[in-house]
Chains A and B, each alone.
Chain A
Amino acid sequence: MEHSSLAGRIFRGVALTLILIFFMFPIVWIFLMSFQTNEQILRIPPRILFEPTLANYEALISGQLRTAAGNLQISFMRNLFNSVVLSSAAVVLALLLGVPAAYAFARFKFRLGESIAFTLLSFRFAPPLLVLLPLSLYYQELGLNDTYFGIVWVYQLIALPLILWIVRGYFEDISPDIEHAYRLAGHSWREAFTRIAVPLAGPGIAAAGLLSFIFCWNNFVFALILASADKQPVTVGALAFVTASGIQYGQIAAAIVLSVTPTLLLALYAQRYLVEGLSLGAVKG
């Protein structure tokens, strides 16, 4: 690195800037859009400088959408709340079920073990729409339609395989000797699991949890079919902005900013744990 020439460093800087602009531009543009009215957004040519307005956020938070065709009730805040509840509950449930299962798959060879693990993964192969039709019939029968529990359950199709397969790899990377050493020191296997295996697989569990949270958060079709308005997350709620008098770009932008914020904060917070501890190096191979 020290030997790189001035030209090389300038080139690297320019390249990094271009890549950064390429990836960040949509996010920045949406952020700017969220402070503009529909007229400001749609004028040609677009302008960087504008009179910022908080009208979009006010409309979202108050639930009153004013369009040319009149006032519309929207429940964006309710949707946002639903998203947080549904995604968090789904990830917590998937972690409770998936982490012990991943440990079992990593440590023990048992009959049909690989088949079970693969079946769980295969849930991700099927197009969700294919699953949804029979599922919605079952849900109606069971009374699970339009319940938080029903949606959290169906979200396991997204979260559980992801957590199982990512965390399993992390458990397999931990030398079994470390757990044997802890057991020989007089601890039960339960203690070895909770105090050795789970902390050491921590970064993997965090990564898998974060990833499945994002997948659940972004899911659209499950909640569209299986839930009614008051249980629907933001992804489905965003449909409300396509109104009779046109698409409300300003509100959509504001809604995106609000709905991306929790995931973004979570990712920034978890990033620390994702990197930390990946090179603990207590075992010499």
Chain B
Amino acid sequence: MARLEINAVSKAFGAARPADGLSLAVEPGEIVAVFGPSGSGKTVLLRMIAGMFEPDDGDITIGGRSVVGAPPERRGIGMAFQNFALFPHMTARDNIASGLRAGGNEVAGRVAAISKLLKIEHVLGHAPRELSNGQKQRTALARALIGNPDVLLLDDPLRNVDAKLRYEMRLELPNLLRRGTAAVLYVTQDYREAMAIADRIAVLIDGRLAQVATPADIYAQPASVAIARLFGDPTINLAEVSPVAEHGMLSADVAGARMRLEAADGAAPAGPCWLGVRPEDIAISSASADDAIPARILAITPMHEKAVLLLRLADGTEWLAALPPDAPHGAADDNVFVRFVPDAAMLFDRASGLRIGASHRLKAA
């Protein structure tokens, strides 16, 4: 039982700053996904915790003791690598057992137990080159898990496995990781994976943590436009608006239509804003209304579980709408009217990109 704490850690490689004052704490038994676009510093953070790089500044503690400067083998860390990093000259069994220092019968028993859990008992005698990618990845996970480490670092472990297995593992991993009391940091570039596996998601952008929150909070209340755009497929629709307050309600002109936005507890934000509406919050109708944006359907992509519509709003802005496949949505080149629930609209400051009115939303939640 040990808490992992990262305190104001910075690291620079020449001009690049993959870590710029990062602070994050992971409780024992908690899974925190470190999510961010490639090059945002996720792997560097993991490698500093593992002891492959030392931070230039700041401290990393495990169970209250600083591990900065300690050799990797003394940190009590298990790690699974994106490229598996199995030892090619050892069998799967020896690969897994290498994580244990003790000898004798205990090793065989624990290897048997962990490989049963990961369903790789039948390939223990095989060399890594004889394993499928899925089996390699499970072997690497078993090797990371077997020593019951205080801290478990998973560097995009599902990157190199096929789609079906990735889905299976998304279901399986949370249970597997919660068996122990390890503090788990899970690096991924796939927001779905982060949302499926993690208790909390730490969004890393350009070496800084942009937001740390539960998956539901991040999706519903992203701290900034940049975060809102990272979560969701198709990505969030944006329009530049200048909201005004009337009768305690915010509204804004969107492509000529006066759209009601969420109820504001204060005055209208000063200056231009980004309006963000998720594609699945959009409704399409053929009937005109004051609070509906005239638009034209440019294309429809049927995706079976949903239909994605490319719309051109009256002012030329292109938006995407994701509708249930059986919902009436018209055909390409139809003129339609776009609406959304006021609560679904998010406002971001145009200059800083930060979300406006977060306090109100937090109260409601």
Contacts and interface: CB of A to CB of B under 8 A. Distances in A.
A183 B81 CA distance: 13
Interface string B79-91: 1010111111100
A180 B77 CA distance: 11
Contacts of A189: 71
Contacts of A283: 83-86, 88
Contacts of B147: 185-186
Given A178-B85, A182-B98, A199-B89, A282 B128 contact: yes
A285 B85 CA distance: 10
Contacts of A281: 88, 128-129
A33 B140 CA distance: 60
Interface of B is mostly: loop
Given A175-B85, A281-B88, A181 B129 contact: no
Contact of B73 (A183, A199, A279, A284): A183
A277 interface: yes
Interface residues of A, number: 25
A285 B83 contact: yes
B357 interface: no
Contact of B88 (A177, A184, A185, A200): A200
Contacts of B50: 180, 184
B52 interface: yes
Contacts of A7: none
Interface in B146-181: 147, 160
Interface in A167-199: 175-178, 180-189, 196, 199
B72 A184 contact: yes
Contact of B52 (A175, A180, A188): A180
Interface residues of B, number: 31
Contacts of A184: 50-51, 72-73, 75, 77-79
B99 A282 contact: no
A185 B140 CA distance: 11
Contacts of B71: 183, 188-189
A13 to B, nearest CB: 34
A48 interface: no
B84 to A, nearest CB: 6
A177 B128 contact: no
A280 interface: yes
B215 to A, nearest CB: 28
A174 to B, nearest CB: 9
B133 interface: yes
Given A175-B83, A189-B71, A284-B160, A181 B128 contact: no
15 contacts: A177-B85, A178-B87, A180-B52, A180-B79, A180-B85, A181-B85, A181-B140, A183-B51, A183-B72, A184-B77, A184-B78, A187-B98, A188-B73, A277-B88, A283-B88
Given A182-B98, A184-B77, 20 more contacts: A180-B81, A181-B143, A182-B87, A183-B71, A183-B73, A184-B51, A184-B72, A185-B98, A185-B100, A186-B100, A189-B71, A196-B87, A277-B89, A280-B128, A282-B84, A282-B85, A282-B87, A282-B128, A284-B83, A284-B136
